[in-house]
Amino acid sequence: MIRTVLVVEDNLVNWKVFERILTRRGGLLAKHTEDVETVMQMATNKQADLILMDVSLTNSYYDGKAVDGIEITQMLKANPETAQLPVILVTANANTGDRENFLARSGADDYIPKPIVDHKAFVEQIKSRLPLDD
């Protein structure tokens, strides 16, 4: 069974890099959206096994207001239907203390700084968070 990683990312260059690493290196299916409604639907309908969530999204709106990856993750984790779905934050804002701060605020399961340098470690980190087969 091929696992699906939903990449929530507003930079198409980053998305293409993630897609290439996830499919070629990881043997995973990668999907992309920055539409919050789509994220919620895919999560609720179990169409993703894991979400890679960019922290700073510039084009994402929910109920008419701009939201970032932290807020989307909070919504996913607050909903009993989607709370178990692993979410890994991805951000270029990798300053000291950011990891703990972002994880604490969002409820996300993990954190990966950009740019992705070690592709093998990136794939291993993602695979380690995938739920085991039922």
Pinpoint the alpha helices (H) of the chain. Answer: 12-20, 36-44, 69-78, 98-106, 119-129
Q: What pLDDT, in 10s, does the model give residues 42-66?
A: 999 999 999 999 999 988 999 999 9
Ramachandran angles phi, psi of 71, nearest 5°: -65, -40
Q: How far apart are alpha carbons 58 and 102 in whole angstroms?
A: 17
Encode burial over 23-50: b for 16+ CB neighbours within 10 A, e otherwise. eeebebebbbbbebeebbebbeeeebbb
Give the pLDDT confidence score for residue 97 in this predicted structure: 84
Give the pLDDT confidence score for residue 131 in this predicted structure: 80
Give the pLDDT confidence score for residue 132 in this predicted structure: 77
Q: How far apart are alpha carbons 81 and 124 in whole angstroms?
A: 26
DSSP conformation class of 80 = T
- pLDDT tier for residue 133 given thresholds of 50, 70 and 90: low
Give the pLDDT confidence score for residue 18 in this predicted structure: 97
Q: What pLDDT, in 10s, does the model give residues 12-40?
A: 999 999 999 999 999 999 999 999 999 99
Evaluate if residue 11 carries a pLDDT over 70. Answer: yes
The residue extents of the domains of the chain are 4-129
CATH topology of domain 4-129: Rossmann fold (3.40.50)
Q: What pLDDT, in 10s, does the model give residues 84-113?
A: 999 999 988 777 788 899 999 999 999 999
5 closest CA partner among 133, 134, 131 = 131
Evaluate if residue 121 carries a pLDDT over 60. Answer: yes
Give the pLDDT confidence score for residue 92 in this predicted structure: 85
